[in-house]
Structure 1
Amino acid sequence: MNRKVQNIVWHESSITKQERRGLNKHHSFILWFTGLSASGKSSVANALARALHEQGKQAFVLDGDNIRHGLNKDLGFNEQNRKENIRRIGEVSKLLVESGQIVLTAFISPYREDRELVRALVSKDEFIEIYVKCSIEECERRDPKGLYKKARNQEIPHFTGISAPYEEPLNPEIVLDTEVLSIDECVSTLINALTKKGFI
């Protein structure tokens, strides 16, 4: 075993997760938005965060691009780096759940195994997988950042949906078809689902 790991001892917090939830007056959990680039993950996550904030809920968005500006700026986009990207985000998300917050993560997270790894970090009632469903054709038509065009021109290697795989969720808790639903309709669907679960 690594000597550093041997000499590290978990230090319990003086404030429990339940106490933080009590102060916030809501459950804490991860809403894991997964889907292709341009499917609408960040747009829906941020719109939902705004709606939750206006209800007085503590919510924070972890966005794929934003995280790569800081915490994960040392990672590329090959399979190994993508896995490490999601592993780190999972650990950060777990900490935010412990702090009593609602965590909204907007990451392509193309591999089922990696999403399940994050699910396993927290309790059963602390992880909701949301598949932001949108066809590759529609995502490529939208292409707000011009990434699909660059990928087609082989300017971007390992691009999900073009030169790298995307494994659709097999049993997501929620599916949002953004080719059919508007952002407002997606937010309403999520608010209703969370209310029904008693999470908010």
Structure 2
Amino acid sequence: MKSSNTVWHCATVTRERREAQNGHRSAVLWFTGLSGSGKSTLAHYVEEKLHGMGCRTFVFDGDNVRHGLCGDLSFSEEARSENIRRIGEMSKLFINAGVIALTAFISPSHEDRQKVRDLVGDDFIEIYCDCPIEVCEERDVKGLYKRARAGEIKEFTGISAPYDVPRSAEIVVDTSGSLSLDDCAETIIACLKARGVWL
């Protein structure tokens, strides 16, 4: 759905000019996986590395955006889809700003992730944080799995709601603990280099 009576205003400072000034191309690194799979931890770790390399970055964290941008949304299936739609649109704006946007969201629906991929295009890099639910439950620092098992949280991904494992993620990292955080991050940065992110 689009607003009526609006026309897109084209900026004189283009994405290409911003990227040239930054020395790197913009992209969306979309981290997806179960709660407790390490999405936020890895996204922030990768951002630290990229920041150290002089890159313009920003992390959209699932919990953080619900304090403001998506604070009006529930956790129903429809609301979660709207949550992902908003982040997709925000990520697209950040691409135009010449920024490498990192997003850490469960984003359980393949359909929702595909919509963002279609919106963003070739700049979308899906990163699946592959971690068994047993390990995620052991981590459970927020106590969410325990509450979900007790029936206190409805529609909880992996317990009472499905998670669609990515069909063709650009990057799959084992975040169960068999690889170090640094190894996972280097895999992602190697992918960015291979895609010619640095100018």
TM over 0.5: yes
* Whole-Å separation in 2 of the counterparts to 1:153 and 1:97: 41
- Distance apart, 1:192 and its partner CA: 1.5
Q: Secondary structure at the match of 1:193?
A: helix
Q: Partner letter of residue 125 of structure 2? A: I
* Whole-Å separation in 2 of the counterparts to 1:153 and 1:145: 14
Q: Report the equivalent of 2:168.
A: 171
RMSD: 1.2
1:176-187 correspondence runs (5 A): 176-179=173-176, 180-187=178-185
Q: Does 1:143 align with 2:136?
A: no
Q: Partner letter of residue 90 of structure 2? A: V
Which residue of 153, 156, 161 maps to 1:156? Answer: 153
Q: Secondary structure at the match of 2:80?
A: helix
Q: Secondary structure at the match of 1:122?
A: helix
* Whole-Å separation in 2 of the counterparts to 1:35 and 1:167: 9
TM-score normalised according to structure 2 size: 0.96
Which residue of 72, 80, 91 maps to 1:74? Answer: 72
Q: Secondary structure at the match of 2:51?
A: helix
Q: Which runs of 4+ in 1 moved over 2 A?
A: none
Percent identity over the alignment is 56
TM-score normalised according to structure 1 size: 0.96
* Whole-Å separation in 2 of the counterparts to 1:134 and 1:32: 16
Structure 2: 5+ residue stretches without partners:
none
- Distance apart, 1:123 and its partner CA: 2.9
Q: Report the equivalent of 1:105.
A: 103
Q: Partner letter of residue 8 of structure 1? A: T
* Whole-Å separation in 1 of the counterparts to 2:19 and 2:180: 31
* Whole-Å separation in 1 of the counterparts to 2:98 and 2:167: 29
Structure 1: 5+ residue stretches without partners:
none
Q: Does 1:132 align with 2:166?
A: no
CA offset digits 1:18-66 (Å, max 9, x no partner): 0010010001010000000000000000000000001100010000000
* Whole-Å separation in 2 of the counterparts to 1:88 and 1:73: 12
Once the two structures are overlaid, the 10-residue window that deviates more, 171-180 or 187-196, is: 187-196
* Whole-Å separation in 1 of the counterparts to 2:59 and 2:151: 31
1:47-58 correspondence runs (5 A): 47-58=45-56
Q: Report the equivalent of 1:92.
A: 90
- Distance apart, 1:181 and its partner CA: 1.4
Q: Partner letter of residue 159 of structure 1? A: F
Once the two structures are overlaid, the 10-residue window that deviates more, 141-150 or 88-97, is: 141-150
* Whole-Å separation in 2 of the counterparts to 1:153 and 1:76: 20
